[in-house]
Amino acid sequence: MLKSKTFVKKTRSGGVMKVVREHYLRDDIWCGSEVCTECKQESTVLQKDACMESSLCSYPHYLVPDTNVVLHQIDILEDPVICNVIILQTVLQEVRHRSAPVYKRLKDIIHEKEKRFYTFTNEHHRDTFIEREPGESANDRNDRAIRVAVKWYSQHLKTFESDTDGLKVVLLTNDQGNKQKAQDNGLLVYKCEEYVKSLIANPELVDRLALSSDDKNEITSSKVLFPEHLPLSRIQTGIKSSSFLQGTFRASRDNYLEATVFVQGEGEDGTEVLIQGLQNLNRAVHQDVVAVQLLPRSEWVAPSSVVLQDEGTAKDDEDAEEEEGKLRTAAAEAARKPTGKVVGIIKRNWRPFCGMLNVSQIKESTRHLFTPADRRIPRIRIETRQASTLSGQRIMVAIDGWPKDSRYPNGHFVRSLGGAGEKDTEEEVLLLEHDVPHQAFSQAVLSFLPKMPWAITPEDMMKREDLRPLTVCSVDPPGCTDIDDALHCRELENGNLEVGVHIADVSHFIRPGNALDKEAANRGTTVYLCGKRIDMVPELLSSNLCSLRSNVDRLAFSCIWEINHKAEILKTRFTKSVINSKASLTYAEAQMRIDDTNKNDDITKNLRGLNKLAKILKRQRIEKGALTLSSLEVRFHMDSETHDPIDLQTKELMETNSMVEEFMLLANISVAQKIYDEFSECALLRKHPAPPPSNYDILIKAAKSKEVEIHTDSAKALADSLDAAKVDGFPYFNTLLRILATRCMMQAVYFCSGMDSDFHHYGLASPIYTHFTSPIRRYADIIVHRLLAVAIGADTTYPDLMDKHKQSALCNNLNYRHKMSQYAQRASVAFHTQLFFKSRGILNEEGFVLFVRKNAIIVLIPKFGLEGTVFFDSKDKVSPNIVFEEEGPTLSVEQHKFHIFDKVKVTISLDDSNIQHQKIRMALIEPVIPGVSVPPPDTERPAKKQKLDR
Amino acid sequence: MATVQVSEAEKVYILHGIRDDLRVDGRGCEDYRHMEIETDVVSNTDGSAKVTLGHTAVLVGVKAEIGKPRPTVPAEGYLEFFVDCSANATPEFEGRGGEELGTKLSNTLYKVFNNKRSIDLKSLCICAGEHCWVLYVDVLLLQCDGNLYDAISVAIKAALFNTKIPKVHISSDEEGGKEIELSDDPYDCMRLNIENVPCIVTLCKVGHRHVVDATLQEKACSVASLIISVTHKGTITCMRKVGGGSLDPESIFEMTEAGKRVGKALHAPLMKLLEQEESLGKKRQKVGFLG
């Protein structure tokens, strides 16, 4: 049966268009229930004995939530208790329209078999489709569609009543009007709260209920704290006429009454608008997209340097006003910045936040404040009955709304992550806070994995070059299970060398567009934490089928060069291949083989050949101006039982590290050139922009203080002057300088060649570069593999691969994920360092001054690769006489003057006064400055202290 | 236009018949052939109607779009006409064969309909000088069996009756920037007042008499015809003579009188029919093109 759906919509040019869609109704849409004998369905989702123990519904029942219940109470629906739910198409479409994140979560639930969620396409069912009546709003029409569908279900199931124990369908809605109408129609209907509260076995679910608008009315005080947000239409016209600006709201980390709004300007540049004061912030939360209105120039202010943290428990505006007063310091005209106020929210960017509960002082109270771990997020008021159990735990809370009469946003408890300070909990927190997707792979994703036992098929062999006879081996860090590269080197008859880099052929297993591919694209990269790895692709691939382990046949994508003994490349070719690695070595093992003159087997000869070439390659690269930078990386030795760090050492680099690296660079550059030649518009490349000269100021100044000149005109000049920089009696100086130089650099980023013109890789001094060699742990490499495969005719292309806008959007995500994973890694190292120092008590160590700030020095402890700040002013003590000089830069504290690179001695201890923000505290021992430095601690103590078992 | 070959004997037969007020198909001189009207036949237009008159079939669609008013009349909307002579109607229209006729027809339609006495053009104004509704009236000839003008005019009147223009309102902010806002309800729409929309009556001079709704054969016997647009009150709003022959003033007078009479009699049942169809609402079984 054919119906047409008609609606009018506005076109972009301001016209009005009538759109007509054909809408087909069918009579073969089944109900999905196990009890039904009428529907000719092959498989059923909904169970016969759908038992959720509820005091309201003692009979088995299916739930039908309406749109608002799904939108607001998705946390409840996700709970394993809730199953046998019918999701109507009307609801699904509306959810999709209104909130993409909720839609995704809902889809995930539907895919989960155990949850037994059934999607009923009521809009296409002959009996449940309804047309909009004159005078009926779209929402009313949808509500009616839901009621009609529920009615249909209850009548449909009634026919089988005798076989079931009175199986019924229950509509959940929070809309009073809808509920009334449903009752009039004789349907079973409950409010979501009523129903959840009636669940006998699971009282804790109540806490997860989002506060609905009805609840908010109860706490309404007469006082309106914030100005009303403007409606979206007003905002849009305002932005069009440029009386408002649209931008991303970025709350200040240090001052809860201050924020900036980043307004994207033409092209790359953007402007920042300062927002100050609660009223002007107007309930915007970090990362929201907001509309701001600029204040008149006379009201512009300068950003304050005061650190303000929202400390009050449930205080309301009085204190805030007082604190706002503190901000109003007279600022010089020049320091004033464009200041504005938030007039409306264009898009909320709320996610569930991690943090801890501040239990209310009133014992019986169920309302508590929640302090997020991220200081930029305001505190959230939640309602819970389990405050006593939740205190001291890390929990997740979602914001439901922020009414204009409430000082804090309202939210609800989502789940507990575990005790604060525990390793698993903190790891979870840092993954969540860095937006690292770390859930187990969904069934949909896993379904695209190859079936085990897996073997290379003859068809695969046909298309691939058989390189199994070659002596290929891999060299990786110890404990590495995701081996994505292997090498070989052999002498050819003409005396030249053949070198092959073999990269795991991940794109063979991950086909474009399927769930596995999408998941990997979203994750973007594998995240390595201390002692934990968050895989980008499921383990079967990462550690088994793709991993180029020794003595098994594996699919590879090979890049093979013919190279002469001067390491000049004569020929390059790419091929899909099958290899059989002869050995998986660690860097140390490989080094030992090379050094051991008694060994002369194939593998060792291979390695020596590679090593020799690598050295030449490296020299050539450095001559061209590649930078050798330095950053301290630490490795923790973990206790095998408790997984607590017991020792810590900075990573050592061996010749073999650099050997593997050289060939990877070579492969990446060769591939980059090839895919760019082939696809100049849509090659995925990686660039490293040259930093602006001002970035080097600190480096030049610091070097000057030791009478060393650093040239920064070009990468080559920088590399040369860094090599030349040496100070007698200070062997660590060069490393320190390189660490500083690293900080001056820009981030390297992925980009699509069709969208950019500057391809240069500054650090590697290469005109073109990409990532090809680690497809197991980086998604960019998978795309590069696909491009290369198309280029050599080994695979077919697909539309998204050739779309430079899609490619560019993907790059943005990869860059974001990459950045976040680095932050997460750093946070993980910081956390493990804290754990380490927790069990060590107070230590004293030697370090170097890395930076000089206005009121502090930043000290690097080379032994631990640890950086810490020594403050010279503190709240409870009288500050010493401090003079900061910009030239230099130097800091004089009383009589002593600190320079960059000065050697100091400090004590290191763990400051756990704030359990959410534990930090390493450093205090000065040497040079001794009376009233500032501390006496050296009793070194006996740490020896006695046993490691803490928690 | 489609033509038929008529022999001398046939001509004499037709002429004599008409002289005696008896036409070949049994009609009197002022009778129309059987006429069928259906509105709302094309869902992606804002108003549409299909009219068959004898074997002549025309389809009219009205699309409302927002445009800029003509500078001379800033507070009025306007109509645009396009007549498509599809080769479906007759093989002569193939290629660009129908173009000339199409232009001729649409020129007449402009004269007849695009004035404020026929349609309240002010009601099409959204915002004086800036936005107004432009009604695009597209006429598609499906089959030609004589008397195109009358069939088209009836179809246009029916389609305008059926036209539903979405309601819009202008919101303005402090700076005077104006924004057109659309109602979310597809049923919230404006109807046109078509009371004064005229119908065209074509009178063919055959011999010494004249006939309305001439068939192709009768047309072949005629040397000149008069096209008159008549409102429901019987007022003549427009008049044109087509054809190569001449008309003497006396017969012109006679023809206009007859045209007035016939036109007035055409309006009343047409309106009744349209309203009756409208009252059936969604329950009406659509006939469409296959019925």
A779-815 pLDDT per residue, tens: 999 999 999 999 998 888 888 888 888 888 899 999 9
- Asked if pLDDT for residue A218 goes beyond 80, the answer is no
Confidence of residue A641 (pLDDT cuts 50, 70, 90): low
Token pair, residue A652, equals 């050592």
Task: Using pLDDT thresholds of 50, 70 and 90, give the confidence band for residue A736.
Answer: confident
Q: Is B168 on the interface with A (CB under 8 A)?
A: yes
Sheet holding A117-120, edge to edge: A117-120, A85-88, A61-65, A168-172, A188-190
**List of chain B residues whose C-beta atoms are within 8 Å of the C-beta of residue A293:** none
Q: How do the domains of chain A map onto residue ranges?
A: 2-208, 443-686+752-822, 691-745, 841-926
Give the per-residue pLDDT at A645. 66
- Choose among B168, B173, B187: nearest Cβ to A237: B173
- Alpha-carbon distance of A596 to A215, in angstroms, equals 76
pLDDT digits (tens, 9 = 90+) for A395-412: 888 888 888 778 888 888
- Provide the strand spans (E) within A199-264: 245-251, 258-264
Select, from the ranges A728-732, A761-765, B66-70, the one with the highest average predicted confidence (pLDDT): B66-70
Please indicate if any CB of chain A lies within 8 Å of the CB of B185: yes
Mean pLDDT of A910-927: 75
Residue B64 three-state SS:
strand
Contact list, B64 vs chain A (CB under 8 Å):
16
For residue A528, the Cα-to-chain-centroid distance in whole angstroms is 13
User: Number of A:B CB contacts under 8 A?
Assistant: 56
pLDDT of residue B1: 53
pLDDT on residue A309: 59
Residues A233, B171: C-beta atoms closer than 8 Å: yes
Does the distance separating the beta carbons of B45 and A18 come in below 8 Å?
yes
The Cα of B156 is separated from the nearest Cα of chain A by a number of Å equal to 20
Whether A137 and B45 lie within 8 Å, measured CB to CB = no
Q: Which residues in B lie closer than 8 A to residue A4 (C-beta atoms)?
A: 43
**Which of B41, B43, B131, B164 has the highest number of chain A CBs within 10 A, making it the mutation to test binding with A?**
B43
List chain A residues with CB under 8 Å of B175.
241, 243
Out of A232-236, A281-285, A394-398, B39-43, least confident range: A232-236
Task: Give the residue from chain A lying closest to B44, CA to CA.
Answer: A20
- Closest CB to A7 among B65, B168, B186: B186
A166 pLDDT higher than 90:
no
pLDDT number for residue A949: 39
pLDDT band at A745 (very low <50, low <70, confident <90, very high): confident
pLDDT 10s digits, A489-513: 988 888 899 999 999 999 999 999 8
**Closest-approach residue (CA) in chain A for B175:** A241
Of B46, B177, B184, the CB nearest to A18: B46
**Pairing label, strands B189-191, B178-182:** unpaired
- Residue A649's pLDDT band, with cuts at 50, 70 and 90, is low
Residues in contact with B93: Cβ distance below 8 Å, sequence separation at least 6, in sequence order = B85, B86, B87, B101, B141
Q: Do B182 and A131 touch (CB under 8 A)?
A: no
User: What span, in angstroms and rounded, lies between the C-alpha atoms of A676 and A820?
Assistant: 28
Query: Residue B212: is its pLDDT beyond 90?
Result: yes
B173 touches chain A (CB under 8 A): yes
Q: What is the percent of chain A with per-residue pLDDT over 90, rounded to a whole number?
A: 12
| Residue A942: pLDDT band with limits 50, 70, 90 | very low
Cβ distance B172 to B80 under 8 Å? no
Distance CA A593, CA A387 (A): 61
Average pLDDT value for residue range A437-444:
85
Chain B residue closest to A19 (CA)?
A: B44
pLDDT value of position B154: 95
Q: How far apart are the C-alpha atoms of B16 and B211, rounded to whole Å?
A: 13
- Best mutation target among B46, B173, B279 (most A Cβ atoms within 10 Å) is B173
Least confident of A366-370, A586-590, B214-218, B255-259: A366-370
| Range with the largest mean pLDDT of A321-330, A831-840, B13-22 | B13-22
* Distance in Å, alpha carbon of A515 to nearest chain B alpha carbon: 37
For residue B276, give Cα distances in angstroms to A659, B270, B280: 90, 10, 7
Q: Which residue, among A210, A169, A166, has the nearest Cα to A192 in the 3D structure?
A: A210
pLDDT at res. A233: 81
In this predicted structure, the answer to whether residue A326 has a pLDDT above a threshold of 60 is: no
Q: Which among B185, B191, B278, B282 is the top mutation candidate for probing chain A, defined by the most A β-carbons within 10 Å of its own β-carbon?
A: B185
Q: Which pLDDT tens digit goes with each residue over B153-175? A: 999 999 999 999 988 878 776 56
Instruction: Name every chain A residue with its beta carbon within 8 A of the beta carbon of B44.
Output: 18-20
Percent of chain B with pLDDT strictly greater than 90 = 55
**B26-55 mean pLDDT:** 92
Give the H or E element holding residue A446: helix A443-446
Distance between A10 CA and the closest CA of chain B, angstroms: 7
- pLDDT at residue A179 above 80? yes
For residue B40, the distance in angstroms to the closest alpha carbon of chain A comes to: 13
CB-based contact, B283 to chain A, within 8 Å? no
Lowest model confidence (mean pLDDT) among A219-233, A291-305, A437-451 = A219-233
Rounded CA gap, A396 and A356, in Å?
8
Report the residue of chain B nearest A137, measured CA to CA: B185
Q: Are A570 and A458 in contact (CB under 8 A)?
A: no
pLDDT at residue A315 is higher than 70:
no
How far CA A665 is from CA of A481, A717, A766, B20, in Å, comes to 22, 22, 10, 104
Q: What is the pLDDT of residues A28-51, one digit of tens each?
A: 888 888 888 888 888 888 888 777
Cβ under 8 Å to A: B residues 47-76: 63-66
Residue A194 has a pLDDT of: 84
User: What mean pLDDT do residues B230-252 have?
Assistant: 90
Q: Which two tokens stand for residue B85?
A: 């002579």
Task: Give how far A161 is from chain B: nearest CA, Å.
Answer: 36
pTM across the whole model: 0.64
User: Closest approach of chain B CAs to the CA of A140, in angstroms?
Assistant: 11
Q: Which of A333, A311, A295, A319 is nearest to A255 (CA)?
A: A311
Instruction: Provide ipTM, 2 decimals.
Output: 0.73
Most B CBs within 10 Å: which of A2, A3, A4, A8, as the mutation test of the B interface? Answer: A8
Q: Across residues B62-70, what is the average pLDDT?
A: 91
Return the structure tokens found at B99.
């173009």
The CATH architecture annotation of domain A841-926 reads Beta Barrel (2.40)
Average pLDDT over residues B6-25: 92
d(CA A458, CA A449): 19
Question: For position A946, what pLDDT does the model report?
Answer: 39
Of B46, B65, B177, nearest to A237 by CB-CB distance is: B177
Query: Domains of chain B by range and CATH?
Result: 28-280 (3.30.230.70)
- Residue B119 Cα, gap to closest chain A Cα (Å): 22
List the CATH code of the domain at A2-208: 3.40.50.1010
User: Chain B partners of A240 at a C-beta cutoff of 8 Å?
Assistant: 177
Interchain pair B46, A234: CB under 8 A: no
Q: Does B187 touch chain A (CB under 8 A)?
A: yes
Q: Contacts of residue A136 in chain B, CB cutoff 8 Å?
A: 185
The answer to whether residue B94 neighbours chain A at the CB level (below 8 Å) is no
pLDDT at A722: 81
B187/A134 Cβ within 8 A: yes
pLDDT interval class at B269 (50, 70, 90)? very high
Question: What percentage of chain B reaches a pLDDT higher than 70?
Answer: 97
pLDDT value, residue A648: 63
Interface of A with B (CB under 8 A): 4, 6-10, 14-16, 18-20, 131-138, 233-234, 237-238, 240-241, 243
Q: Where are the beta strands (DSSP E) in A614-745?
A: 634-638, 645-650, 684-687
Which tens digits make up the pLDDT trace of A341-396? Answer: 888 888 888 888 888 887 777 766 777 888 888 888 888 888 887 777 888 888 88
CB A613 within 8 A of CB A564: no
A233 CB neighbours in chain B (<8 A) are 171, 179, 181
